[in-house]
Chains A and B, each alone.
Chain A
Amino acid sequence: MSAAGVRPAWMEKPRPLTQAAKGVALAVVVLLVLVPFLIIVSTSFASDREVIDGGGWVLWPQHPTLRAYREIFDGGIVGHALWVSAGVTLVGTAASLACTIGLAYALSRRDLFGGKPVLLLVLFTFLFPPGMIPSFLLVKSMHLLNSYASLIAPFLLNVFNLVVLRGFFQSVPEELHEAARLDGAGEWLILRRIVLPLSKAALAVVGLFYSVSYWNAWFYASIYLDSDHWPLQQVLRTYVIGGAQLADTGAGDASAVAAPQTIQMAVLVVATVPILLVYPFLQKYFTKGVLTGAVKS
Chain B
Amino acid sequence: MAIAERDATGRTGAAGASADPRSAGRAARGSRRKRLRRDAVLLLLAAPGVAYFVVFHYGAMAGNVIAFKDYVPFDGLWASQWVGLSNFQAVLADDAFWHAVVNTLWIALLQLVFFFPVPIALAMLLHSLTRDSVRRFVQSVAYLPHFLSWVIVVAVFQQVLGEAGLLNNVLGDAHLHTVDVIGNPAAFKPLVVAQVIWKDCGWGTIIFLAALAQVDEQQYEAAAIDGAGPWRRFWHVTLPSLRPIIVLLLIMRLGDILSVGFEQMLLQRASVGPDAAEIIDTLVWQRGLVQGDYGYAAAAGLFKGVVGAVLVFAANKVAHRLGEQGVYA
Residue of B with least CB distance to A167: B6
**CB 8 Å contact bits of B287-314 with A (1 = contact, 0 = none):** 0110000100110011001101100110
**CB 8 Å contact bits of A1-27 with B (1 = contact, 0 = none):** 111111110111000000000100110
Residues on the B chain within 8 Å of A106, using CB: 39, 42-43, 45-46
A56 within 8 A of B: yes
A187 to B130, CA, bound (A): 46
Chain B residues bordering chain A, tally (CB within 8 A): 129
Partner-contacting stretch, out of B11-19, B88-96, B99-107: B11-19
A151 to nearest B CB, angstroms? 13
A58 to nearest B CB, angstroms? 10
Contact partner of B329 (CB less than 8 A), chosen from A119, A125, A283, is A119
Residue of B with least CB distance to A163: B3
Contact partner of A36 (CB less than 8 A), chosen from B149, B160, B244, is B160
A254 within 8 A of B: no
Residue of A with least CB distance to B139: A283
B174 within 8 A of A: no
Residues on the A chain within 8 Å of B262, using CB: 219
| Inter-chain contact A22/B325, CB cutoff 8 Å | no
A177 to B202, CA, bound (A): 39
| Inter-chain contact A102/B154, CB cutoff 8 Å | no
Residues on the A chain within 8 Å of B52, using CB: 99, 153, 156-157
A134 within 8 A of B: yes
Given contacts A2-B127, A103-B46, A182-B19, contact A132 B289 (CB under 8 A): yes
A107 to B49, CA, bound (A): 11
Residues on the B chain within 8 Å of A127, using CB: 309, 312-313, 328
**CB 8 Å contact bits of A143-164 with B (1 = contact, 0 = none):** 0000000000110110110110
Residues of B204-254 contacting chain A, CB below 8 A: 206-207, 209-214, 217, 220-221, 224-225, 229-230, 244-245, 248-249
| Inter-chain contact A177/B20, CB cutoff 8 Å | yes
Between A2, A29, A101, A159, the greatest number of chain B beta carbons within 10 A of the residue's beta carbon is seen for A2
Residues on the B chain within 8 Å of A98, using CB: 48
Residues on the B chain within 8 Å of A6, using CB: 130
A27 to B288, CA, bound (A): 46
Partner-contacting stretch, out of A68-76, A196-204, A245-253, A272-280: A272-280
Residues of A198-250 contacting chain B, CB below 8 A: 212, 215-219, 223, 233-234, 236-237, 240-242
| Inter-chain contact A294/B1, CB cutoff 8 Å | yes
Contact partner of B19 (CB less than 8 A), chosen from A162, A178, A215, is A178
Residues on the B chain within 8 Å of A212, using CB: 147
B40 to nearest A CB, angstroms? 9
B176 within 8 A of A: no
Residues of A33-79 contacting chain B, CB below 8 A: 33-34, 36-37, 39-40, 54-57
A268 to B148, CA, bound (A): 11
B32 within 8 A of A: yes
B59 within 8 A of A: yes
Contact partner of B151 (CB less than 8 A), chosen from A32, A131, A177, A271, is A271
A45 to nearest B CB, angstroms? 15
Grouping DSSP codes into helix (H, G, I), strand (E, B) and loop, the A interface class, with mixed when no group exceeds half, is: helix
Known: A6-B130, A128-B306, A134-B298. 14 other contacts (CB 8 A): A2-B127, A33-B202, A40-B156, A55-B172, A110-B22, A113-B36, A130-B56, A131-B61, A138-B59, A163-B5, A219-B262, A279-B147, A286-B143, A290-B206
Residues of B within 8 A of A (CB): 1-6, 9-11, 13-14, 18-22, 25-26, 32, 35-36, 38-39, 41-43, 45-50, 52-64, 66, 77, 122, 125, 127-132, 134-135, 137-138, 140-145, 147-152, 154-156, 158-160, 164-166, 169, 172, 198, 202, 206-207, 209-214, 217, 220-221, 224-225, 229-230, 244-245, 248-249, 262-263, 266-267, 270, 281, 284-285, 288-289, 294, 297-298, 301-302, 305-306, 308-309, 312-313, 324-325, 327-329
Q: Which 10 A-B pairs have the closest CB atoms?
A: A103-B49, A134-B63, A216-B149, A106-B46, A130-B60, A102-B45, A10-B224, A106-B42, A131-B301, A113-B39
Residues of A within 8 A of B (CB): 1-8, 10-12, 22, 25-26, 29-30, 32-34, 36-37, 39-40, 54-57, 98-116, 118-123, 125-138, 141, 153-154, 156-157, 159-160, 162-163, 167, 170, 174, 177-178, 181-182, 186-188, 191, 212, 215-219, 223, 233-234, 236-237, 240-242, 264-265, 268, 271-272, 275-276, 279-280, 283, 286-287, 290-291, 293-297
